[in-house]
Amino acid sequence: MTRTILITGAGGGIGRACVNHFSEKGWRVIGIDRADFGEGFPADGRFIKADISHPDSVETIFQKVKDFHPTLDALVNNAAVQVAKPLIETTVEEWDAVMASNLRSVFLFVKLAHPLLKKNGGAIVNVSSVHAIQTSANIAAYATSKGGLLAFTRAMAIEFAPDNIRVNAILPGAVDTPMLRAGLGRGHVGSGDMQERLDNLARKTVSGKVGTPEEIASAIYFLADNEQSSFMTGQALVVDGGATARLSTE
């Protein structure tokens, strides 16, 4: 039977790669993003333009989801925003915007997705970040939201296990996405042009490269597929090219 997945942040780097990867594997994809997806969304799927940071929007989204298909086999909570600035310069409005998009939206989505996932025994994959476990300067709000998502993943896994719903998190490292490129303006990898900054970042990684959205999408697929990761729940899968394996003093 054709499986159905809901992906938030479907228009971004990792989200778009997930849309393509799951569709190629034969899944029916429902994508959510506050920006237009543009060309190429799967013809047998459904794209919904909405801002998931607003609670009222989430109710409307799920009515459209249920109209499209009455059950879900997986949910990927991928949507996120990032504020890259010193903590003492971060405004309350910016802090709240990050938490609303990166953490509160997950809370709202899993509550409404739960009955749809429970019917078939589905999976939830929360896209966290290596910043949840090791971070850097001028990205405090983002790191905090992603750390909270790890704790929330464990709590969900415990509560949803009786309903045969698995919940795991993936922690991407440096992946070449629009968000990563925007964040390179923090100056932590030099001040050259974009390619120079990406090259400097790659040299800091054990694998010597920056990851691709497709590599992350493949790992997300593993966690979402009940045939491949049936004995995993409440876990955090780090996919970072070895970045967190190296001591910062080396």
Cβ neighbors of 78 (< 8 A, separation 6 or more) are 7, 8, 9, 10, 12, 14, 15, 18, 127, 220
Q: How far apart are CA 43 and CA 192, in angstroms?
A: 41
Cβ neighbors of 16 (< 8 A, separation 6 or more) are 10, 37, 213
CB distance 5 to 29 below 8 Å: yes
Q: Mind telling me the catalytic residues?
A: 142
